[in-house]
């Protein structure tokens, strides 16, 4: 196929094969009754109310007057992506994330002296215990929760079971890290009816699974502020749709992916906003892709005022700013 034709066909192929979002849009999921065409306005509101965007929490300025916050994040799914059909060759594709992808990512972050956030399913960490040690040894990175077994939460189908897995995931990482994780990213970015309430009760500082804005925002559950900060992701700034054969066999030139990410960063920079990139060591950890990621990092570093941070650092900062603003609002006669 010519490269021009390939670029034309690619979006359609991606739509057909990008399993999680397309399936969620087109087929009913247990626990989520469809919103019928003759639903009342009130029923439509109720139908979308489970998790909504509240107030935008983009701060007026980032620390030290930085213009943009950049978060590199890596979901360390490895073998668990093939859990439902654990054939040896696909499993080895995931194993690559631990043997080669993650070490290469960590070396890159060392070379560039920047932090990153890593989301580890507990059983992915159990298969390769060295991964947590290698990440923590850098003393710059964050580790957050990404399920027990990379379970798809809407299909667990049992709130108590789901909560038990969440508790075990938190306990596993807490023990391995000597510190309780503060960030949650749902496996496959999929929430059940119970997930939001369960992570709120578990006391997470932030979630990073929703897509309602480009900036940090308040996460609402049925109209109530959960108190958690959402640090949103999206499919454009994710390596999976571009590189994974299961996502359409696209495998484009890493330079094209670099251009997409650069375009996202450039506008975030213009908007004084935030740029979160989601990657996977077993996907981006390959040679040509790491080279493209390094090129992106070098490009971003060439701009003045770029704050490379973990999601935890961003959430902490946003939370502090929000509390400060509330204090100011409380003072009589203060205009904002």
Which residues of the chain form contacts with Zn ion (CB under 5 A)?
Answer: 75, 77
Task: Give min distance, CB of 27 to Zn ion, in A.
Answer: 21
Q: How far is the CB of 80 from Zn ion (least distance, A)?
A: 8
Q: Where are the alpha helices (DSSP H) in 274-310?
A: 281-284, 287-301
For Zn ion, the closer of residues 146 and 200 by Cβ is: 146
Residue 232 Cβ vs Zn ion, minimum distance, rounded to whole Å: 16
Which CB sits closer to Zn ion, 59 or 94? Answer: 94
Q: How far is the CB of 240 from Zn ion (least distance, A)?
A: 9
> Pairing between strand 68-75 and 274-279?
parallel
**Cα dist. 297→155, 284, 287 in Å?**
37, 14, 15
Q: Mention every residue, 6+ apart, whose C-beta is less than 8 A from residue 53.
A: 210, 212, 213, 217, 218, 219, 220, 230
- At 58, is the secondary structure helix, strand, or coil? coil
Q: Which is nearer to Zn ion, 59 or 232 (CB)?
A: 232
Closer CB to Zn ion, 77 or 239, in the complex: 77
Cα radius of gyration (the chain): 20
* Selection from 180, 226, 187 nearest residue 209 by Cα: 187
Smallest separation, CB 77 to Zn ion (Å): 4
Q: How far is the CB of 83 from Zn ion (least distance, A)?
A: 11
The runs of H, that is alpha helices, within 113-214 are: 122-127, 130-137, 153-156, 159-177, 195-201
Tell me the sheet residues that pair with 56.
217
Q: Which is nearer to Zn ion, 70 or 233 (CB)?
A: 233
Q: Among residues 77 and 230, whose Cβ is nearest to Zn ion?
A: 77
Residue among 188 and 310 whose Cβ is closer to Zn ion:
188
* Pair 69, 272: CB distance under 8 Å: no
- The pair phi, psi for residue 271, each rounded to 5°, is -85, 0
Least Å distance, CB 36 to Zn ion, is 32
Question: H helices of 187-278, where?
Answer: 195-201, 240-243, 254-270
The residues, ordered by sequence, that sit 6+ positions from 323 with a Cβ below 8 Å of its Cβ are none
**Nearest distance from C-beta of residue 211 to Zn ion, angstroms:** 15
- We find the least distance from the C-beta atom of residue 215 to Zn ion, in angstroms, to be 23
Residue 150 or residue 200: which is nearer to Zn ion going by CB? 150
CA distances from 168 to 182, 279, 308 (A): 15, 25, 31
Is 284 or 321 the residue whose CB approaches Zn ion more closely? 284
Tell me how far apart the alpha carbons of residues 10 and 250 are, in angstroms, rounded to a whole number.
Answer: 7
């Amino acid at each position: 196929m010519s490269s021009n034709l390939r670029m034309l066909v690619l979006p359609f192929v991606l739509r057909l094969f990008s399993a999680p979002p397309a399936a969620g849009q087109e087929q009913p999921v247990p626990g989520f009754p469809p919103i019928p065409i003759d639903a009342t306005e009130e029923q439509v509101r109720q139908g979308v109310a489970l998790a909504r965007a509240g107030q935008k929490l983009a701060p007026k300025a980032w620390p030290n007057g930085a213009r943009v916050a950049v978060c590199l994040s890596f979901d360390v799914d490895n073998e668990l992506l093939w859990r439902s059909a654990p054939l040896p060759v696909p499993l080895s594709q995931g194993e690559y994330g631990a043997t080669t992808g993650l070490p290469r990512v960590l070396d890159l972050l060392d070379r560039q002296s920047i932090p990153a956030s890593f989301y580890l399913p507990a059983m992915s960490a159990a298969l390769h215990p060295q991964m947590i040690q290698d990440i923590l040894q850098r003393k710059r990175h964050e580790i957050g929760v990404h399920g027990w077994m990379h379970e798809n939460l809407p299909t667990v189908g049992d709130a108590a079971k789901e909560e038990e897995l969440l508790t075990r995931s938190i306990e596993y990482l807490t023990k391995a890290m000597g510190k309780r994780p503060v960030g949650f990213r749902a496996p496959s970015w999929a929430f059940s009816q119970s997930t939001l309430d369960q992570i709120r009760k578990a006391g997470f500082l932030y979630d990073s699974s929703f897509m309602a804005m480009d900036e940090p925002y308040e996460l609402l559950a049925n109209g109530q502020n959960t108190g958690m900060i959402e640090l949103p992701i999206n499919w454009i700034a994710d390596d999976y749709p571009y590189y994974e054969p299961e996502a359409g066999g696209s495998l484009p030139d890493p330079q094209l992916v670099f251009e997409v990410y650069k375009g996202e960063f450039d506008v975030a920079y213009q908007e004084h906003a935030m740029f979160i990139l989601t990657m996977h060591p077993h996907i981006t950890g390959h040679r040509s892709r790491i080279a493209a990621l390094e090129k992106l990092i070098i490009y971003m570093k060439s701009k003045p005022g770029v704050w490379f941070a973990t999601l935890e650092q961003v959430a902490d900062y946003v939370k502090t700013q929000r509390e400060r603003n509330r204090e100011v609002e409380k003072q009589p006669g203060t205009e904002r």
